[in-house]
Amino acid sequence: MSETSVFSHNPLFEAGEVTGNLRLGRLESVYEELFADVIEDGIITQEERKQLDKMAEQLGLDRARLLRLEEALQAAYEAKHRVQIREIDDDADRAGTLMPLEPAKDPGSLALERRIKLLEGRIKELEKALEEAQNQMAVDVDFSEAVPSAKASHDDDPVELERLLRHDPRDAASLHALFRSFNKSGNVDRAYLLAQVTTYLNIATPEEKAVHSKHATGVLIQPKMSLSGDAWSKLLASPEEEPLIGEIFAVVAPAVLLGRISAMRRDKQLAKLDPARKEDIATSTIQSVRCIGWAASILGTTLPPIYADPDFAEALDLVPHMPVATRIGQKALSGRNTAELAFLAGQHITFHRAEHVIRALVPTVRDLEEIYLAALSIGNPGLPMNADMKRTVVPVAKAIEPILEPIAVDHLRGFFLRFVEEGGRANLKRWAGAVEKTAARAGLLLCNDLRAAETVFKLGFEADVPEAPQARPNAPPLPRDAKAIDRRMDDLLVFLTSERAAKLRKQLGVAVG
């Protein structure tokens, strides 16, 4: 098989609706670059204002929308540098134009205070009602782990065996019993997936080895159709990935991306993408480039601009850009087999979705919390916050809101009501970890190879070591967190033995048997 035909589709492949698309205005991004350069010194001169107006006119951009865009960029700059940007009429008047901002003051309005108290009271009522409802629900006490005979009594029940495997995905007895159940009932694909797990764990019986050898062709999947939006949310996404959090982040993602690009440009940290290194998947002979195009089409996601950069030390990088781009580095340009590339591509493409991109742009949970609260405060300006929280959240909200379309603000209002109805709590640390699990599941769905997944995980832990591998050629192998890798693999084992994985494979048209 030639290099260009490795990452190909089934001749009957049907591309479905593209989901999770991050929508950005191309012409507005041009204007944003010019405006970011203008405010870099903290002032806007009369001549600079004329240039901005001329650019807006040439691009045919909406003036009201551009005003909101400028307000957001200006708010982000002022919040970061604690200065106030001024427009001046004469270049000679530059001295003393940077005005230190006064510390944020509490509005102190009696009407606002009354509204806050009313909201606080309402939230407490809802929390109390939720607690009462939970207390009235039937309690499911699970003694399956404690009672040895419980497992044996459900030896032929696939549902019970799957539940047991969610607790311990490496339990040999449950894995063998579930394989026998599916093999006996003629569910070939699920029996094969169980055999794949036991083979990976080196506990496969002769019968399981035979099934695995029969169907493990070593050829990448060739789906007949792409993944639907419903399949993403109901089957592929980790059960720990709370949908509401992702929906809120998807609304504000374009504004956060814009602010991130502006901040990185000011700090001289924005990655430079060489146009000469941009790849076209239709003509490229680089396997990793073609793999990303293949993965994006199967996962129903917009294909990002791709740049092959042999000077970049890692594998794949999501680059803040307009639009968000992919940079392929040394660890994906060479030394990887097709299964490993497929896993890397599926994992990477997941972070290009609108509900996930913030996870890549904002890696710390603390910053995620600030953006989440800012989005909620846009949905409800009366959101109760203490003084310290206001000082960090309000500037973020001011940087986001002007860029949002009215319909986006309406969505945030609805999301705030859902947030309150669902208990008024969000675990962003758990959500961030769940996105990582979803990305790994996407990678496994494409590569269909547990050992390839483990290799990529180890590759990631190598990247976490500050000292580059090539700088220590005679040293022992780099240390790896074996327990962390095992935890990641455990989630993939749970996924592969679940009904979710089987339904996904059936929907894509890659189930065997």
Q: Are 192 and 211 in contact (CB under 8 A)?
A: yes
CA gap 307, 316 in Å, rounded = 10
Q: Phi and psi at residue 263, in whole multiples of 5°?
A: -65, -45
Q: What is the pLDDT of residue 97?
A: 44
**pLDDT tier for residue 452 given thresholds of 50, 70 and 90:** very high
Q: Compute CA distances 402 → 63, 398, 417, whole Å.
A: 13, 7, 21
Residue 11 has pLDDT above 70, yes or no: yes
The 10s digit of each residue's pLDDT in 409-429 is: 999 999 999 999 988 899 999
Range 152-173 average pLDDT: 84
The 10s digit of each residue's pLDDT in 394-404 is: 989 988 888 88
Range 100-116 average pLDDT: 52
β-partners of residue 307 are 278, 327
Q: What is the pLDDT of residue 457?
A: 93
Q: What is the pLDDT of residue 2?
A: 46
CA gap 400, 359 in Å, rounded = 17
If one compares 299 and 30, the residue with the highest pLDDT of the two is: 299
Hey, where are the domains in the chain?
1-25+217-468, 26-89, 155-205
Long-range interactions of 480-489: CB distance < 8 A, separation 24+: 485/454, 485/457, 485/458, 485/461, 488/436, 488/437, 488/440, 488/457, 489/450, 489/453, 489/454, 489/457
CA gap 228, 236 in Å, rounded = 10
Q: Where are the alpha helices (DSSP H) in 7-88?
A: 26-38, 46-59, 63-81
Coil, helix or strand for 327? Answer: strand
| Block residue for tokens 């084992």 | 493
Range 374-389 average pLDDT: 90
**pLDDT tier for residue 335 given thresholds of 50, 70 and 90:** very high
Tell me the percentage of the chain whose pLDDT exceeds 70: 71
The 10s digit of each residue's pLDDT in 12-47 is: 677 776 777 776 554 455 566 666 666 666 677 777
Range 355-365 average pLDDT: 91
Q: What is the pLDDT of residue 49?
A: 74
CA gap 368, 433 in Å, rounded = 12
The 10s digit of each residue's pLDDT in 243-257 is: 999 999 999 998 899
Q: What is the pLDDT of residue 402?
A: 85
Range 91-113 average pLDDT: 48
**pLDDT tier for residue 150 given thresholds of 50, 70 and 90:** very low
Burial zone of 154 (CB within 10 Å; 0-12 exposed, 13-18 middle, 19+ buried):
middle
Q: What is the pLDDT of residue 103?
A: 46
**pLDDT tier for residue 314 given thresholds of 50, 70 and 90:** very high
**pLDDT tier for residue 508 given thresholds of 50, 70 and 90:** very high
Residue 404 φ/ψ region, left for φ over 0, alpha for ψ in the -120 to 50 degree band, beta for the rest? beta
Q: Compute CA distances 404 → 69, 135, 408, whole Å.
A: 9, 40, 6
Q: Are 446 and 298 in contact (CB under 8 A)?
A: yes
- C-alpha torsion sign, points 5, 7, 217, 341: positive
Query: For the chain, how long is the longest CA-to-CA vector?
Result: 87
The 10s digit of each residue's pLDDT in 193-228 is: 999 999 999 999 999 999 999 999 888 999 999 999
**Cβ neighbours of residue 400 closer than 8 Å, sequence gap 6 or more:** 72, 252, 255, 256, 259, 371, 374, 375, 378
Compute the mean pLDDT over every residue in the chain, rounded to the nearest whole number. Answer: 80
CA gap 415, 372 in Å, rounded = 11
**pLDDT tier for residue 151 given thresholds of 50, 70 and 90:** very low
The 10s digit of each residue's pLDDT in 128-147 is: 665 555 444 443 334 344 44
